[in-house]
Amino acid sequence: MSKTSILTCTGLVFLVSQIVILKILAKINLKEVITLQTTFSNLTFSSIIAEWKANGSIDYYFLHYYFDFIHPIFYSLFLFAIISKVLYSKLHIEKYVSISYLPFVAGLFDIIENILHLHMITNSIYPKEIVIMSAFFTNLKWLLLISCLLVPILFLFPSKTKRLKE
């Protein structure tokens, strides 16, 4: 299988998975979902969950986890394929090989976030320390994912690439 085929396949699987998750979460207030996942406040976390339990939206949040535990595998493989294609196929830069593994670190952080959220929600406990830890992993995951999207763009600009190769 060629690198382009791998990139296309992983991209399609990632896209389908993302669409499924977004369709589920669209039944909840997406702004609240983002707030819940990124907040460092246990009061904010618990109030959103209480609201979702009261109006039945919590069922959709639980449903999204069926896909969200495998989703990190899909986006990690897709981003790995993009970064690898740019760094190795196009630019032949071997010294930045560790960058291509960052999507898997982000995926691991996503799974940790999911586990922490499920633990808190199913046990109806929202300790400040766990909410902070969860937000830390979530925000770091997003930082890594954005960085992973920027890496191929930055390496494709000749002036940047020339400086990095030297």
Instruction: Give, in degrees to the nearest 5, the angle at Cα 139 between 98 and 57.
Output: 130
Closest Cα partner for 44 from 128, 148, 124, 113?
Answer: 128
Question: Do 92 and 56 contact (CB within 8 A), yes or no?
Answer: no
DSSP character for 77?
H
Q: Which residues contact 124 (CB under 8 A, 6 or more apart)?
A: none
DSSP character for 157?
S
> Domain locations in the chain?
3-158
Query: pLDDT tens string for the chain (166 positions)?
Result: 776 788 899 999 999 999 999 999 999 989 999 999 999 999 999 999 999 999 999 999 999 999 999 999 999 999 999 888 887 766 666 667 788 899 999 999 999 999 999 999 999 999 999 999 999 999 999 999 999 988 888 777 755 445 555 5
The pLDDT of residue 95 is 67
Token couple for 135 = 């937000």
